[in-house]
Amino acid sequence: MGACFARFNVALKPNNLHVYNTLTRSKERFEPLNPPHVGMYVCGPTVYGDAHIGHAKSYVSFDVIVRYLRYLGYNVRYVQNITDVGHLTDDADQGEDKVERKAKAERVHPMQIAEKFTRSYFEDMDRLNVLRPDISPRASGHIIEQIELVKRIIAAGHAYETGGNVYFDVASWPKYGKLSGRERQEEMVSGTRVETAADKRAPADFALWKRAEPGHIMQWPSPWGNGYPGWHLECSAMSMKYLGESFDIHGGGMENQFPHHEDEIAQAEAATGKPFVKYWLHNNMVTVGGQKMGKSLGNFITLQQAFEKWDPMVIRLFILQSHYRSPLDFSDEALGATENGFKRLEGAFDVLTQQVQYGPSGPLDPEAAQVFGEAFRRLNEAMDDDFNTPGAVAALFDMANNIYRVRDAGRLTGPTAVGLGATFKLLSNDILGLMFGPDRLGMSPLKAGRSAAVAKHFEASVLFLIDLRNDARKAKNFAQADAIRKRLDEIGIVLEDTPQDTKWRFK
Ligand SMILES: [Zn+2]
């Protein structure tokens, strides 16, 4: 099993990228194993319910990391799994499979639940302009690879079979705990866990393969009888299948450091004898009004609920305004402030777009260009410092302020607007993934090509309606002119009459 990376040369931009590595608890210079290639794996969702704002924080954070690495010139292969089997309701190898439990409650096949929530997950992420991973492997589609991995771990002497279950023998693996500094043994003995499976040699041991009890729907034949994989196994098996036995970046939520990531490391390294991952990156969690979010606490916010109230781009900007390793507190007041900020950025983008067409002619303004160059440098510096998006967003706001300042001074010439526009779009859109104006129609990145065409037709249609309205005004048919303005306003388009012409913008 090797990672087959295509050979091609890419010029890397000079950079000073440092990333915080949970494994070493320090910021390290980013040096991939096989530049310019970067293999990156991020733990994906368990698809048994709607995605919530915690998912948004995690996957927007890793989306910006992928975007920045690609901007620097790295050839990133981004793998993010879909957990559709094996994730139990309890960490200590007890409880029900989450997908199967939901399926039983709704009286449908577990794969219907998995498919439904996989689709809605991607649709929610599309609206946040999160680029889709290059590979989204499903756990249920990689049972063979998982069985093979279990066989290798048994052969290496680090797992044992008992009555159709296979457990990892934690006592045989002294390196266990190197990521989180936590010991399974201690946790299980001192913790308040439910009783451990009677057939384990030690409470710390964890399931690689589980025997299917009667009535269990999701099961496959294996050398140990019919059963299904333990949750932690899929990430070791699928990351190594697509990225090789040693790869560069593994990401996920901090709450998954233990036991999930610790178990992934033990499984992979016990089987291969090689270091599994070079850099471990973990994002912090979302709180709501200062409280941990949870279904039982009644403060659980799905993305679909959040989108009813807030523009997905406002949510994205809100997430980027805090560092991925910092907790993020979600509140209406904070989102309201971000909404105002987003309007200011979008307004600056509109100014540039309109000035390209209608601005005064004249040369590129050197001072404006210099201010932009400086903001660009600061944004790079921030991103090089462990993807410091709050610093990058601050630089973007400085650019927006500069755009308004130059415009108000009457120096925003067409060439200046073109020059600033290219830089502003590179930073806001390519790197930070924010979308403004007509770009926001047809949010799916998969439809990006089509949405550009749609946006063009859309703009032409609005201009046509503006012409009709102006014709009506000239003919003194003010009722008709007002009706056109009102209808456009109802669909969110505001007209602004200037002495020269009529401009339009989104509300
Ligand atoms: Zn995982």
Q: Give Cα separations from 485 to 91, 253, 438 (angstroms).
A: 59, 48, 19
Contact 86, 229 (CB under 8 A): yes
Q: Measured in angstroms, how far is the CA atom of residue 457 from the centroid of ligand 1?
A: 43
Closest by Cα among 274, 27, 87, 243 to 175: 274
DSSP category for residue 360? P
Q: Which residues of the chain have pLDDT under 50?
A: 1-2, 7, 189-194, 442-451
Q: Measured in angstroms, how far is the CA atom of residue 87 from the centroid of ligand 1?
A: 10
Q: Measured in angstroms, how far is the CA atom of residue 261 from the centroid of ligand 1?
A: 7
Angle between helices 332-358 and 312-320 (to 10 degrees): 110
Closest by Cα among 268, 253, 267, 323 to 22: 253
**What pTM was estimated for this model as a whole?**
0.84
What's the confidence (pLDDT) of residue 189?
A: 45
Closest by Cα among 432, 431, 420 to 372: 420
Contact 206, 168 (CB under 8 A): yes
Q: Measured in angstroms, how far is the CA atom of residue 410 from the centroid of ligand 1?
A: 54
Question: Based on the number of CB atoms within 10 Å of its own CB, is 119 exposed (0-12), middle (13-18) or buried (19 or more)?
Answer: exposed
Q: Encoding tokens for residue 478?
A: 């003010």
**What ranges in 51-208 are assigned the alpha helix state H?**
53-72, 98-106, 110-127, 143-155, 184-190
Q: Measured in angstroms, how far is the CA atom of residue 43 from the centroid of ligand 1?
A: 4
Instruction: Region of 476 please: left (phi>0), alpha (psi -120 to 50) or beta.
Output: left
What's the confidence (pLDDT) of residue 23?
A: 96
Q: Measured in angstroms, how far is the CA atom of residue 78 from the centroid of ligand 1?
A: 14
3-class SS shares of the chain: helix, strand, coil, % to 5: 50, 15, 35
What's the confidence (pLDDT) of residue 372?
A: 87
Q: What distance lies between CA 507 and its chain's CA centroid?
A: 28
Q: Measured in angstroms, how far is the CA atom of residue 255 from the centroid of ligand 1?
A: 11
Q: Could you read off the pLDDT of 228-239 as tens digits, one per residue? A: 999 999 999 999
